[in-house]
Amino acid sequence: MEQNSATKKHKKNPFGLILHLHPRKVRASTLRFSLTFGLGGMAALLMVIQVVTGLLLKFHYEPSPGEAYNSILNLQESLLFGKMLRSIHHWSALAMVWIVFLHMLRVVFTGAYRTPRDVSWILGLALLILVVLSNFTGYLLPWDQLSYWAVTVATSLLSYVPLAGELIREALLGGKEVGQPTLTNFFNLHTGIIPLLIIALMAWHFWRIRRAGGVIVAEKDMGSPMVDTRPHLVNREFVVAVALLAAIFLISSLFDAPLRERANPSFSPNPAKAPWYFMGLQELLIHFHPFFAVVVFPVTVLTAAVWMPFIRSDDVNQGIWFLSDRGVRSAKFSLAAGALFTVLFIGLSELLPDPELLLPAVPPLITTGFIPFLLLALTVWVFMNYIRRRFSLNRSEMIQAVVVVIVTSYTILTLTGIFLRGEGMNLVWPWKV
């Protein structure tokens, strides 16, 4: 009898699935929009949009070099709402990279990556990489000039990985160049393996967040009351979801997903650029030895990111934006310092003579690799000591300052690569790119 009424109650509840993702009650302070901006939830909704639109696109898409481009033209011209469907998938994919990235910054700047959220953080890092890979594998599918050459350039970065680089590149491409086996591999990764991995890791991410007691609560808010998830949280999530859907539909109806001319493997555009999220790496390649640009820098940053939650700190300000007043001031200072340093670095490396020409007898791995890397590491060390003393920072505030410098630097490198590199990847004014 009791079981019957429980089943009935459950059946009547239209929010059943959403409520299962949440505890029955949540702390009122965590409902403040400005704590999370709903970014994690938006990322989850975008994934649902990608799966739904992706499955529909799959009905019409032909993963072969001869037919891929035609199948997209056909989809756009003869299928009702075909263009819209493709545009929604395209713009949501772009939004997803941005939103997941901003969500990560929100977690760093509210100090929400430490125990008991360390595993959520590491799962998040894996999710970020998978979302970028999902974008990258999707990029090739339209098989137009842009996609063909962007994938050729980006996968060529892999050959700089010592020992296994060429092997990994050929395994991914299914041969020496981008062709039919590449399209088959990318299609299978894009529509099968990667989405399944994202869904599995997302479920694990959600479970860990739940186990950690929900979203981070600042110490000053510990006394804030517990309120019912429905209506308080679910209503807010609903508003954010509707706003996001409206924005995606509006953008997709105003701007069509781009499609250039059909891929031509024998005509490379000049300059040939990687997809925008890899442009920072392509820009680094101009300044550093490839081994450092493609292996040492990314591996150092990723290792530091995995290690971040385990760096001991005595701070008590988790759950507060930028941790403290000192944190706000040092973050602003780091933003300015990171921007100035990167711009100066790009400018000087353009004006000063090439170290390889100055010291022809020394191997480039040393002149454009080890020496600049050590100089950079020294600069970061001096900078960290300086801001620690200037702002009396604790470890979490220091980590935050370093993240600000790295993100600012990568953003400027990316913008330079996209807007200021013209023919032969030389620096030009943006209107000449």
Q: Please tell me the total number of residues recorded for the chain in this structure.
A: 433
Q: What is the smallest separation between the CB atom of 336 and ligand HEM, expressed in angstroms?
A: 25
Q: Which is nearer to ligand HEM, 146 or 281 (CB)?
A: 146
Q: Which is nearer to ligand HEM, 255 or 381 (CB)?
A: 255
User: DSSP letters along 75-88, please?
Assistant: HHHHSTTHHHHHHH
The Cβ of residue 38 has, within 10 Å, a number of other Cβ atoms equal to: 19
Binding mask 353-392 for ligand HEM (x = CB under 6 A): ----------------------------------------
Q: What is the smallest separation between the CB atom of 363 and ligand HEM, expressed in angstroms?
A: 37
Binding mask 244-263 for ligand HEM (x = CB under 6 A): -------------x------
- Interface with ligand HEM: number of residues (CB under 6 A): 51
The Cβ of residue 88 has, within 10 Å, a number of other Cβ atoms equal to: 24
- Interface region with ligand HEM, contact rule CB under 6 A, candidates 116-124, 228-236, 374-382, 395-403: 116-124
Task: Name 144's bridge partners.
Answer: 262
Q: What is the smallest separation between the CB atom of 349 and ligand HEM, expressed in angstroms?
A: 31
Binding mask 29-68 for ligand HEM (x = CB under 6 A): -------x-xxxx-xx--x--xx--xx-xx--x-------
The verdict on 89 binding ligand HEM (CB under 6 A) reads yes
Helix (H) or strand (E) holding 27: strand 25-27
Q: Which is nearer to ligand HEM, 229 or 368 (CB)?
A: 229
Q: How many CA atoms lie within 13 A of 17 on its CB side?
A: 0
The verdict on 346 binding ligand HEM (CB under 6 A) reads no
Q: Where are the alpha helices (DSSP H) in 81-193?
A: 82-109, 118-140, 145-156, 165-173, 180-188
Tell whether the torsion through CA atoms of 283, 419, 245 and 79 is positive or negative: negative
Residue burial 379-406, b: 16+ Cβ < 10 Å; e: rest: eeeebbeebbeebebbebbbbbbbbbbb
The verdict on 172 binding ligand HEM (CB under 6 A) reads no
Among 83, 117, 169, 421, contact with ligand HEM (rule: CB under 6 A): 117
Q: Where are the alpha helices (DSSP H) in 174-296?
A: 180-188, 194-211, 229-254, 279-287, 290
The Cβ of residue 13 has, within 10 Å, a number of other Cβ atoms equal to: 12
Q: Where are the alpha helices (DSSP H) in 13-81?
A: 16-21, 33-36, 39-58, 68-78
Q: Which is nearer to ligand HEM, 43 or 331 (CB)?
A: 43
- Interface region with ligand HEM, contact rule CB under 6 A, candidates 124-132, 241-249, 352-360, 406-414: 124-132
- Interface region with ligand HEM, contact rule CB under 6 A, candidates 131-139, 170-178, 365-373, 402-410: 131-139
Cis check for the bond before 290: say yes or no (omega within 30 of 0): no
Tell whether the torsion through CA atoms of 362, 363, 369 and 370 is positive or negative: negative
The verdict on 103 binding ligand HEM (CB under 6 A) reads yes
* Cα–Cα nearest to 158, from 142, 138, 182, 126: 182
Q: What is the smallest separation between the CB atom of 424 and ligand HEM, expressed in angstroms?
A: 27
Residues binding ligand HEM (CB under 6 A): 36, 38-41, 43-44, 47, 50-51, 54-55, 57-58, 61, 72, 86, 89-90, 93, 96, 100, 103-104, 107, 112-113, 117, 120-121, 124-125, 127-128, 131, 134-135, 138-139, 141-142, 190-191, 195, 198, 202, 205, 209, 215-216, 257
